[in-house]
Amino acid sequence: MARSNTNQTKRLRDAVATYILAQKQATFNYKQVSHALAVTSQAQMRTIALYLAELAFDGDLIEVAPGIYKAPTRSVTATGTFVRRSNGKNSVVTDQDGETIFVAERNSMHALNGDRVEVTIAARRRGVEPEAEVTAILDKKEQTFIGTVKVDKQYSFLQTDSKFLATDIIIPKKGLHGAKNDDKAIVRITEWPEDEKNPRGEVVDVLGKTGENNAEIHAILAEFGLPYKYPEAVNRAAEKIDAGITPEVVATREDMRDVTTFTIDPKDAKDFDDALSIRCLPNGNYEIGVHIADVTHYVKPDTLLDREARDRATSVYLVDRVVPMLPEHLSNGICSLRPDEDKLTFSTVFEMDTKGNVLKSRIVRTVIRSNRRFTYEEAQEIIESGKGDYADEILALDKLAKILRAKRYENGSVDFDRMEVRFDIDETGHPVGVYFKESKDANKLIEEFMLLANRTVATTIGMSQGKKKPKAFVYRVHDQPDPGKLTDLASLSRTFGYKLKTSGSSRDVNRSINRMLADVKGKGEENFLSTLAIRSMAKAIYTTTNIGHYGLGFDYYTHFTSPIRRYPDMMVHRLLERYLAGGRSVNIEKLEDQCKHSSEREQLAANAERASIKYKQVEYMNDHLGEIYSGMISGVTEWGLYVELDDNKCEGLVPVRDLADDYYDFDEKNYCLVGRRHNNRYRLGDQVKVQVARANLDKKQLDFVIVDEKNPPRDMDSLGHNVSVAKALSGHASKKSTGGTKNRSSKKTKMSSKASGKVSKKRKKAK
């Protein structure tokens, strides 16, 4: 009898196996299998259910949902983009479904970050992460790396701390191209033999000596693929352009040179791309003009200048300089709306009553003549004192701007008014002080009228077609925030005593955010919570698909007001000219490609700006090694605590290995590290005292140590530093040559494993 049951079970399992093979990638459950095999007895159905669960446990089936299975793919060939990491955690992002799959170094074929590859994906088994092997490199991405050149008698190589490469790059003597020892240089990888640990390359450009300000700033730009110098041919093309404001040109425009007009800009600005005019009308209303430099009058489509501007897409604002989108002959000269000079402009002109209502508007090409150039500080003094040049005009504009701003907030616009960190720089580029840039009424006056102009232009084009298909246009859009991030923000706000709505209409949620941001003004948690509020929001982008601007609460929005420094504004100017003249819609696919490129370049420029600020923060704090500061925990990860200093907003890491009083676990849900023995907690938002321990300029990294009763301040020797030596080296961590090139990934792995001895590996969250 037992033998009969065994044979029956075997036949049933064989039948199930045959059924599974026939399903290929279709899913099924035990009821579907039972029905297909005409099994009706509860005992046999239970046998099938248990067998399916057993196969899934062994990895011979994939349980895609509780009780639902499919046959695993034994091996799959796929294509995708290779992602290389210096910590050895390489992966491929597949084209088919965007899945990220681990690739061991031995299976990478030395593919570099961004390469298009073909991979074979191994069988998936329960509890085992899938793994891929590169079988072909389909398209090699041009690879350059920035670092310090080391030249010896026998060999030369580039030391790089790139997050995309763990190894040094060997440079043959003929590939040095004039680079000398300790030069900061850009190196292109030329080959990476499969049987060698290190790639080979050649010097593309020498940026200067490591540690020199210009070399380091140019290195930051190069790191993000941004240009750090202008091609001579482009400069020559710009120099040939003349202002050309002839009577014939003026006759084609509205002449507003007799209207009171002025600019308000930062004190160090040279590219004045917007001006305001104001005059009283006979009916008691105001005529307000927002005048924007008419860059596209001078930069014609598809010329050398235009192609360069299109590729750059934006000016880049770094700590100590501006890298302009257009050559200075245009940006600071011909196009800049300098006082007492006739200038060509593209203008939005509004008739407004004293209550801030826009009664009429028009978009027109004009010629203007600015009467005065104000700095923000000068305009602010006039607003506060009521006295000064053009005081009546500035006070009237300020009053109208405040009305417009109040209406905007009432309609759901979010008040992101953050303090910005700035540095006092000496003649060598070294930071000697920190100050904070605040947005005051003068700044907000300009901002409000620029918003009004941008919104008016977008609405004019977006709504002008009625029921017809709208013409292709460039919109600046901002999607709704991620619900999860908004919930996290509300949770963190509650720990400080603030309530935040996460549901309801966009207007209600944004009003709640505004109340919280207003309540934190002037308090220790202001910068922290306002930063988290910004991070909870989606990123604004350029696109031809209008979904509105969530953060501003606008149905239509674009960028029209800064064509000197943003290519999308130039695109908008050209589209406006075309459509206002009755022209047909442009090709939307081509326009969308340009929008996407501009969004990507904007993000790169923002990343470079942050990197330059971080570099100067580390350079500044290197002069303060061993000193003690108060700060707030601004980030919590399994590898340590990020602390932002109250005095100067510099941020550094307290590595978990330096929390020597206990072993700490990362509680991701509550944003804290928890001591196992003493239950001591370090939470996001906590106030702490820290000592500046290390400043590594190459990695743009500050390390702090906690200072309290249990951990008193340390002397510099115990921190592993000698102050005089560290300052003499200008903060650059010395990289001692070991007599040959090296693979530094092993060192990084050891540090990581050392840290993980104190921290639970169950969860990991990047800051």
Point out the least confidently predicted range of 133-142, 335-344, 520-529, 556-565: 520-529
Q: Is the pLDDT of residue 642 over 70?
A: yes
Strands (E), 4-65: 62-65
What phi and psi, each to the nearest 5 degrees, are found at residue 572? -65, -40
pLDDT on residue 746: 35
Strands 254-255 and 358-369: parallel
pLDDT on residue 33: 92
Measured CA to CA, the distance from residue 651 to residue 423 in angstroms comes to: 15
Measured CA to CA, the distance from residue 227 to residue 612 in angstroms comes to: 15
pLDDT on residue 26: 83
Cα-Cα end-to-end distance for the chain: 64
Please state the length of the chain: 767
Residue with tokens 């590729």: 311
Section 239-260 average pLDDT: 95
Q: Is the pLDDT of residue 428 over 70?
A: yes
What phi and psi, each to the nearest 5 degrees, are found at residue 49? -60, -45
Section 109-113 average pLDDT: 90
List beta partners, residue 77: 120
Q: Is the pLDDT of residue 757 over 70?
A: no
Q: Is the pLDDT of residue 132 over 80?
A: yes
Question: With bands split at pLDDT 50, 70 and 90, how would you rate the model's confidence at 130?
Answer: confident
pLDDT per residue as tens digits for the range 528-546: 777 778 778 888 999 999 9
pLDDT per residue as tens digits for the range 256-312: 999 999 999 998 888 999 999 999 999 999 999 999 999 999 999 999 999 999 999
Point out the least confidently predicted range of 273-277, 322-326, 517-521: 517-521
Measured CA to CA, the distance from residue 681 to residue 226 in angstroms comes to: 42
Section 337-350 average pLDDT: 97
Point out the least confidently predicted range of 70-74, 182-186, 246-250, 510-514: 70-74
Question: With bands split at pLDDT 50, 70 and 90, how would you rate the model's confidence at 116?
Answer: very high
Point out the least confidently predicted range of 139-148, 417-426, 619-628: 417-426
pLDDT on residue 716: 62
DSSP state of 128: B
DSSP state of 430: -
Is residue 301 exposed (0-12), middle (13-18) or buried (19+ Cβ within 10 Å)?
exposed
Q: Between residues 161 and 235, which one has the greater pLDDT?
A: 235
pLDDT on residue 760: 34
Point out the least confidently predicted range of 190-194, 309-313, 494-498: 494-498
Nearest to 201 by CA among 181, 224, 177, 221: 177
Q: Between residues 706 and 520, which one has the greater pLDDT?
A: 706
Point out the least confidently predicted range of 519-523, 655-659, 717-721: 717-721
Region of 124 on the Ramachandran plot (φ > 0 left; ψ -120 to 50 alpha; else beta): beta
Contact between 694 and 718 under an 8 Å Cβ cutoff? The reply is no
Contact between 690 and 707 under an 8 Å Cβ cutoff? The reply is yes
Q: Is the pLDDT of residue 736 over 60?
A: no
Helix axes 588-622, 567-580, angle to 10 degrees: 150
Measured CA to CA, the distance from residue 541 to residue 236 in angstroms comes to: 33
Radius of gyration of the chain (CA): 31
Q: Which residues contact 270 (CB under 8 A, 6 or more apart)?
A: 328, 331, 332, 336
Is residue 399 exposed (0-12), middle (13-18) or buried (19+ Cβ within 10 Å)?
middle
Measured CA to CA, the distance from residue 657 to residue 637 in angstroms comes to: 13
pLDDT per residue as tens digits for the range 579-601: 999 999 999 999 999 999 999 99
With a pLDDT cut of 90, the percent of the chain lying above it is 53
Q: Taking CA 735 as the corner, what is the angle to CA 733 and CA 737, rounded to the nearest 5 degrees? A: 170
Question: With bands split at pLDDT 50, 70 and 90, how would you rate the model's confidence at 561?
Answer: very high
Q: Between residues 753 and 81, which one has the greater pLDDT?
A: 81
Question: With bands split at pLDDT 50, 70 and 90, how would you rate the model's confidence at 758?
Answer: very low
Q: Is the pLDDT of residue 104 over 80?
A: yes
Question: With bands split at pLDDT 50, 70 and 90, how would you rate the model's confidence at 721?
Answer: very low
Measured CA to CA, the distance from residue 528 to residue 511 in angstroms comes to: 19
Measured CA to CA, the distance from residue 602 to residue 474 in angstroms comes to: 15
Section 23-30 average pLDDT: 84
pLDDT on residue 70: 83
Q: Which two tokens stand for residue 30?
A: 């035990």
Strands 286-293 and 672-675: unpaired
Nearest to 319 by CA among 216, 184, 443: 216
Whole-number average pLDDT of the chain: 86
pLDDT on residue 27: 87
Section 563-585 average pLDDT: 96
Question: With bands split at pLDDT 50, 70 and 90, how would you rate the model's confidence at 524?
Answer: low
Contact between 214 and 428 under an 8 Å Cβ cutoff? The reply is no
CA distances to 360, 459, 555, 603, 705 from 363, rounded to whole Å, are 11, 12, 19, 30, 58
Q: In 10 A of CB 440, how many CB atoms?
A: 14
Question: With bands split at pLDDT 50, 70 and 90, how would you rate the model's confidence at 65?
Answer: confident
pLDDT on residue 62: 80
Q: Between residues 750 and 650, which one has the greater pLDDT?
A: 650
